[in-house]
Amino acid sequence: MSLDSELTQRTLGNFGMNGCSPVSDQAWYVIVRRLALISSLIFVIYFGVRVAYNLPSHLRCDWGVYYKAGEATRRHEPLYSLEWGPDMTFKYAPCVGLLMAPFSLLPPVPARVLWFFADVGLFLILLALCARIQWPADRRPQLHSWPMLLAVLLSVKFLIDQWIAGQSTILFLTLTVASFYCVQRELMLPAGALLAAAVCVKLVPVCFVPYFLLHRRGMIGILSFASSLAALLMLPAAWHGWEANAALLSEWPRHLMATDIPVQAFRVNNQSVYAMMSRLLTVSDYGCNIAVWNLHDVRNLWLIVSVLAAGGLHLFLWNTRHDSSPHRAPTQLSLLLLFMTLFNPLAWGYNYVALLPTYLLLIETVRRPVRGQFWVLALFSIGFAMSSAEMGVTWLPILDTLQVWNLRCLGGFALVALVIWSYRAAAAIEVAAADRTNGFGGVSKYLQLGPIRSGSRGKSKISIIRAESDERDIQRAHSARHSSAEIIETSCRLDEGV
């Protein structure tokens, strides 16, 4: 028997078919997984009934705006109207109205339920994309299930806000994360097209465009983004005609400026940097201002702060663009999504669904042997508590007062600092582990199996890594640094007699 086959046989025999846990754990894992699936199915069915039951007959709600836009598109009626006032009006590109046209063929209640189940399907795709980015080459659900489940539970409040409102947050967030995933695989053409689709739904994903320039074929991605955006904006011409579509495109920016409601900047539910500045620097009903500016000056200051923050973010992305650490991509995605959420002028509760990849990254950080692990967990708990604090809790009115001072937004900034710090700490530990590996001459070995990916091509390799003979390191073995690949973090210890 060859050494490779003997190593593999020992691995599967001692640690189970998943390579990391005993075979006796498999039955328990299957039971828990089935219970989780049944609970999730019950939850989804309950919410499907709830959204249908709570849909107002007059349709004056967030989802009703989409439905009316679909009807207007299908009937060639005015798309941008103020029938329900400036706060309940369609503010998206004409192609989004074309997307909603098929839903408007159904009665409102079935269409609303169908939209909800489509949203659930998009959320499952989003989870799969986040898992691929967090664990780029590891396909074993046994290792991913618990961090993913915990990340979903931490985000469930924002998900409920999203599903009750029927907003399009999951749609543009999935498109944005899919674009980022394609960039990691150097698939620049679909990356640009997906980001263009996300920008048509919401303008804020445009902050991802400079990220293309950090990659070797970035200009292809930018050209794909520009051409796809132009194609999507021209797409409604196939239904309306060129002249009618051109009129809609010229009316769209005017409608956005005409429906800019200053009071939305002051609302306590708006937890963005712009809202924080508006409440603190202008006179509002909350009486928390520390200065008396006009809203125009506040907006200019917000633009300056946003540009400076974007510069700092992309400086960090530039400095880490060549890092071979497996934590680079999830860290970059988390920071980009946090920036997109915090500096969005209107950051309602459902917009904070974008924190899901950040929660997943920090959960994975807590699982690793990072220096100061207790403080990582403590600060993560504080940042999560601040960013997810509920408003309108009658038995704890101080939460409303704290949200006036932008408690959720400040919690988001705490998570930004923690993401950067955890990345630096993980990088320092990887360097130390590499130094120990290079200087150790013992006989204990770790077997690491899995595909090594370079760009969009994968090659299966087996790496035998020397490491210290320590029981803790058996469960926490780090991936060896590879100049052109990301290596699966799967390891097991062999007997010294092999």
Tell me the pLDDT tens digit for each residue of 166-214.
Answer: 888 999 999 999 999 999 988 999 999 999 999 999 899 999 999 998 8
Which residues of the chain fall below pLDDT 70? 1-29, 138-143, 368-380, 382-401, 427-498
Residue 9 forms part of a structural domain: no
Let me know if residue 137 belongs to a domain: yes
Is 5 a member of any domain? no
Mean pLDDT over all residues of the chain? 76
The C-alpha atoms of residue 351 and residue 340 are separated, in whole angstroms, by: 9
Closest CA to 112 of 71, 58, 163: 163
CA–CA gap between residue 40 and residue 38 (Å, rounded): 5
Are both 54 and 118 inside the same structural domain? yes
Task: Give the model's pLDDT for residue 467.
Answer: 37
Nearest to 462 by CA among 490, 436, 441: 490
* Residue 32 maps to a domain: yes
Q: Are residues 249 and 346 in the same domain?
A: no
Shared domain for 411 and 454, answered yes or no, is no
Helix (H) / strand (E) containing 454 = strand 445-454
**Within a domain: residue 475?**
yes
Query: 403 and 278, same structural domain?
Result: yes
Q: Are residues 164 and 313 in the same domain?
A: no
The reply to whether 396 and 478 lie within a common domain is no
- Whether residues 417 and 477 share a domain: the answer is no
Q: Given this model, what pLDDT does residue 432 score?
A: 58
Domain that holds residue 61: 26-259
Residue 352 lies in a domain: yes
| Domains identified in the chain, total number | 3
Which of 391, 423, 438 is the last residue before a domain boundary? 438
> 257 vs 44, 304, 379, CA distance in Å?
38, 20, 40
Q: What is the DSSP string of 191-257?
A: HHHHHHHHHHH-SGGGGGGGGGGGSTTHHHHHHHHHHHHHHHHHTTHHHH-HHHHHHHHHHHHHHHH
- Give yes or no: residues 313 and 428 share one domain: yes
- Domain-located, residue 343: yes
Together in a domain, 385 and 241: no
Domain boundary among 259, 275, 290: 259
pLDDT of residue 220: 92
pTM: 0.77
Residues 339, 326 within the same domain: yes
Say if CB 122 and CB 174 are below 8 A apart: yes
According to DSSP, residue 88 is labeled S
| Residue 12 domain flag | no
- Kindly provide the residue ranges of all beta strands, DSSP E only, lying in 258-413, ordered along the sequence: none
Boundary (domain end) residue, out of 398, 419, 438: 438
Q: Are residues 146 and 232 in the same domain?
A: yes
pLDDT at 307: 93
Any residues with CB less than 8 A from the CB of 352 and at least 6 apart, and which? 155, 158, 271, 341, 387, 388, 408, 412
Q: Does 250 share its domain with 309?
A: no
* Neighbouring C-alpha atoms within 13 Å toward the C-beta of 326: 26
